[in-house]
Structure 1
Amino acid sequence: MKKEILVSALLVASMSLSAQKSAVIRIHTEQGKQIIPKEIYGQFAEHLGSCIYGGLWVGENSDIPNIKGYRKDVFDALKELKVPVLRWPGGCFADEYHWMDGIGPKESRPKMVNNNWGGVVEDNSFGTNEFLNLCEMLGCEPYISGNVGSGSVEELAKWVEYMTSEGDSPMANLRRKNGRDKAWKVKFLGVGNESWGCGGSMTAEYYSDLYRRYSTYCRNYDDNRLFKIASGASDYDYNWTDVLMKDVGARMNGLSLHYYTVTGWNGSKGSATNFSKDDYYWAMGKCLEIENVIKKHIDIMDKYDPKKNVGLMVDEWGTWWDQEPGAKTALYQQNSMRDAFVASLTLDVFNRHTDRIKMTNIAQVVNVLQSMILTKGKEMVLTPTYYVFDMYKVHQDATYLPIDLICDKVSVRDNRTVPLMSATASKDKEGIIHISLSNVETDESQEVSIEIPGVTVNQVSGQILTSKNITDYNSFEHPNVVVLKDFKDAKVSKGVLKVELPAKSIVTLTLK
């Protein structure tokens, strides 16, 4: 390992070259211009595995404690997380979902086969009303993914009317018949999902024409204003972005992007909990590669939209490991400290690019992929990723503070280089500065020196997420292996904030 400069050469002189790992950060409070949109911390709930049924929803007659059918323990945990936006019903499921099957009396709703995920039969007891009511109760924005792949323009147009119209119209009156008089506020509308793949196997040119048609008939009713999001690229498909920016342009408010930290799409993706240090560092390199991918997509968007009117929406991201052995539902995976670091490092990347990125949605909220929460019967477990989102919620709608960072790096396989420190700094509306720090190093602590010119720090408090092993996770038998604790190893010395950051730890500091 060797010392390398990540951002600024100005701090080299102050860098400690002791045997202990160390890092230096300078925070530029006077350069803070961009707001970190709260929607950067968005969630995603697809009809996949037990995300909806058994995760968010158990029904009013369940013996599992619930609030109007929503699992009480899961609801309370999400409320604490201050979820800003929730995407639904997919994912691939969205382009086979016909919304009228999920409205009206539950006993009259037709069952359906979920052909995308396991061929399971769903009873449609969780539909439009249930989702939008949940968002209201959580205080979050709903993000509806519309069916373009197997649906029709008329179907999506009527869905928008059903949800948002206050008029004396057929769909608004159908909503009233179903027990909801007042229209919901629905801001975010996805026009299809992964239209290049499970959403229809389309070309970019064909989808561009379809988007223009669909979006024309998805109207604004009364004072509801739709933020229309086009189905964007997967990972490295820069041509898709180029075609949509050229052919759709300002007709869309946002363009999606999907990126997963995954070892490969064929064969084994590796265990979520049984992995080596080499596997861990590789995952850090893969998750950080999203920054170069984002930059390339942004460069294309800037070419057609220099004023940045179209937002980049990373509405699917996270880790994708092998399904847990013995799991009864699709894409159920455990969640270790490695996943926590993927979350913290990726959020740090997003926070640096909020001039273009306006929303992201981790996949997924309960029981699927890199979830916040796991459930089994009446039991619930919070994952390490949940705690990262809990620590980072202080950055929602705060002013991003640019930083210079010098730290150690490590080389990993596939010619990737991984910085051993990552950080985000922000100032909230009350003027309080929060700093999130991630020590990626598995075995050694780091001494972090933080300079904040022009700011006097009188009080420092913090929380830390760490564990004995990088493979540690929370199980139903041992739910508190990885939990937040108070952090006290930060102090001000001669105007510099000194932080002793343990190995494999994530810390958020509050400065007053």
Structure 2
Amino acid sequence: MLSASITLYPREPQGEISPLLHGQCLEPTGEGIHPGVWVGQNEGIPHQDGIRLGVFDALKQLEPPVIRWSGGAGAANWRDGIGPHKSRPTRVTTHQGTDHIDSNAFGTHELLRLCREIGAQAWLDGSVASGTPRDLAQWVEYCNFDGPTTLAQARGKNGDPQPFGVRFWGIGGQTWDGGGQFTPETYAAKYRQFESLFPRLQGQEPFLIAVGPDGNKSPESAAWTRQLLQKLGEWRSSQLDGLDAHFAISNSGGEFGTATAFTLDDYYGMLSESLRVESVIDEQRALLDASPIGRDAKLILGQWGVKHPRGERPLWQPNTLRDAICAAMTLDLFHRKCKVLWMANLGLGVNAGQALLHTFDNITVRTPTFHVFDLYKRHRGGQLLHADFESGEAGGLPRLSGSASYQNGVVTLSVVNSGARSPVEATVEMPGSNIEMVAAKELAGEGLAAQNTAEAPETLVPREIAPKFEPATSQSSFVHTFAPASVTVFLIKLAS
């Protein structure tokens, strides 16, 4: 059996892991909202105020810290999604390559009530391509103002007299493509206009997010940010709180097989592709730091995730163990980059992209990616710890990799065994520490293409495991054998 070692240093904190690195996205495209999240009064599907109960319960368990409502790249108008459902217009959108019919039944109130119920902050995007600064300003007033204005009173008449308190506002979305096909210069002019007219309501501190680059296109990604920051910093500079870069773990052309049929080389190739995001993070943070207006701005990865070749269902794709391992390796990387990356949002939540949840008639299936996010929750808000992994390579990648954090007397250690064929016995050492207890859960399967389906929704679920911890022999270490192609999370309680 292969052997390895992992050494953790609880006395060497590296910075706080922002909970916002575990953000999610919802978008009214494909089957994401209809019939994924929203089923209305369908008597055949359990729901809570129109929201599919299986989706609601899963999100309640996951506790996503922020949900991005990715409407800034489309032509939708927020006014279409308020008021009595019977009076809301039905529209068609085509910007995702499909004729998508949207009843607007899931609008501002439905989204923000969902966020409130599951404890998530909301990030709303206003379109700079189809909307005006006035449209966005009035949306802000509608959501957030507590006073006797027509818009605030309309919010009350629609069921929510108390302001929603939305903090995160995106000025545009994917403006380099479907959000207007702007150049950095023309988008900068739009941003300045929208930002200057953005309401600064008393007692509120809006967090304004500019559209960053398509991180998959180099050298365009660097040119976009460099030129955008230059223009935003000219004359009287604009408020810039965050820059939203995007990155897809791209398999849309079948470079690494299909979602469920792929070779071992395809498997390792897609894992390697997922780690390319590190160069995007480093590039964008360096550009922000080099700019007076960008120096204090937070770097955000506003949409990321695996993209497989499209099938018959628009934007829907299978979600396998391979996808889960990509998600785990990416989250671990985000944790390790917590000094420079502040927020990240997986796309697109339900029935689209690397989804957390798939729905089939009245069934909600939690994907392997959902289980990774659920396992990794304990990292949120913890102090990143220095960790050394000595394990050799598999497919050109570190065989074992992961991240470690500390809070409230407990070390959380997440480990990915990327090796598809071989188990690895590893000793986990914590020099100078006394371990009181070790608990662990593992996500692994019988094959790299294993997935959860409507017929077999629990093919891949975490299971409790027992690491070999013998205090009589050593109080600062334990041994565990990592299954091939697995994700394991340990909770290590330290003696006080």
Question: What is the TM-score of this pair, normalised by structure 2?
Answer: 0.93
Letter in 2 for 1:317: W
Deviations 1:218-267 (A, max 9, x none): 22323332111101101131111212333335621100111111135x57
Name the structure 2 match of 1:343.
327
Name the structure 2 match of 1:166.
146
Name the structure 2 match of 1:289.
276
- Cα distance in 1 for residues equivalent to 2:467 and 2:388: 22
Deviation larger for 161-170 or 252-261: 161-170
Q: CA deviation at 1:369?
A: 1.1
Q: CA deviation at 1:460?
A: 0.5
Letter in 1 for 2:90: K
Tell me, yes or no, if structure 1 residue 262 matches structure 2 residue 250.
Answer: yes
- Cα distance in 1 for residues equivalent to 2:349 and 2:193: 32
Q: Secondary structure at the match of 1:286?
A: helix
Letter in 2 for 1:468: E
Name the structure 2 match of 1:392.
376
Alpha-carbon contact 1:487-1:507 (below 8 Å) kept? no
Name the structure 1 match of 2:430.
452
Letter in 2 for 1:23: A
Name the structure 1 match of 2:336.
352
Q: How does 1:115-264 map to 2 (within 5 A)?
A: 115-117=94-96, 118-235=98-215, 236=218, 237-248=221-232, 251-264=239-252
Name the structure 1 match of 2:15.
34
Name the structure 2 match of 1:88.
69
Name the structure 2 match of 1:5.
none
- Structure 2 gaps of 5+ residues are none
Q: Secondary structure at the match of 1:402?
A: strand
Alpha-carbon contact 1:166-1:221 (below 8 Å) kept? no
Q: CA deviation at 1:209?
A: 1.7
Q: Secondary structure at the match of 2:89?
A: coil
Cα 1:232/1:459, change in 2 over 3 Å: same
- Structure 1 gaps of 5+ residues are 1-19, 412-416
Tell me, yes or no, if structure 1 residue 114 matches structure 2 residue 90.
Answer: no
Name the structure 2 match of 1:479.
457
- Equivalent of 1:498, from 479, 484, 492? 479
Letter in 2 for 1:409: E
Q: Root-mean-square deviation (CA), in Å? A: 1.8
- Cα distance in 1 for residues equivalent to 2:280 and 2:162: 42
- Equivalent of 2:441, from 463, 468, 472? 463
- Cα distance in 2 for residues equivalent to 1:197 and 1:490: 52
Letter in 1 for 2:449: T
- Cα distance in 2 for residues equivalent to 1:300 and 1:120: 37
- Cα distance in 1 for residues equivalent to 2:374 and 2:72: 25
Cα 1:283/1:110, change in 2 over 3 Å: same
Deviations 1:284-326 (A, max 9, x none): 00001111221111121221259952111101101001234xx
Name the structure 1 match of 2:262.
275
Cα 1:302/1:28, change in 2 over 3 Å: farther
Letter in 2 for 1:294: I
Cα 1:500/1:458, change in 2 over 3 Å: same
- Cα distance in 1 for residues equivalent to 2:160 and 2:84: 13
- Cα distance in 2 for residues equivalent to 1:177 and 1:48: 28
Alpha-carbon contact 1:322-1:331 (below 8 Å) kept? no
Q: CA deviation at 1:78?
A: 0.8
Alpha-carbon contact 2:67-2:115 (below 8 Å) kept? yes
Alpha-carbon contact 2:72-2:127 (below 8 Å) kept? no
Alpha-carbon contact 2:14-2:386 (below 8 Å) kept? no
Q: CA deviation at 1:48?
A: 1.1
- Cα distance in 2 for residues equivalent to 1:259 and 1:335: 18
Letter in 2 for 1:316: Q
Deviation larger for 128-137 or 448-457: 448-457
Letter in 2 for 1:51: G
Alpha-carbon contact 1:269-1:320 (below 8 Å) kept? no
- Cα distance in 2 for residues equivalent to 1:274 and 1:425: 33
Alpha-carbon contact 2:468-2:478 (below 8 Å) kept? yes
Letter in 2 for 1:397: G
Number of residue equivalences: 481
Q: Secondary structure at the match of 2:37?
A: coil
Name the structure 1 match of 2:291.
304
Name the structure 2 match of 1:14.
none
Tell me, yes or no, if structure 1 residue 58 matches structure 2 residue 45.
Answer: no
- Cα distance in 2 for residues equivalent to 1:205 and 1:301: 17
Deviation larger for 23-32 or 48-57: 23-32
Cα 1:469/1:61, change in 2 over 3 Å: closer
Q: How does 1:67-106 map to 2 (within 5 A)?
A: 67-90=48-71, 92=73, 95-106=74-85
- Equivalent of 1:488, from 466, 476, 480? 466
- Cα distance in 2 for residues equivalent to 1:37 and 1:155: 32
Alpha-carbon contact 1:334-1:473 (below 8 Å) kept? yes
Q: Secondary structure at the match of 1:387?
A: helix
Q: Secondary structure at the match of 1:278?
A: helix
- Cα distance in 2 for residues equivalent to 1:365 and 1:37: 20
Tell me, yes or no, if structure 1 residue 424 matches structure 2 residue 411.
Answer: no
- Cα distance in 2 for residues equivalent to 1:248 and 1:354: 26
- Cα distance in 1 for residues equivalent to 2:34 and 2:482: 40
Name the structure 1 match of 2:304.
317
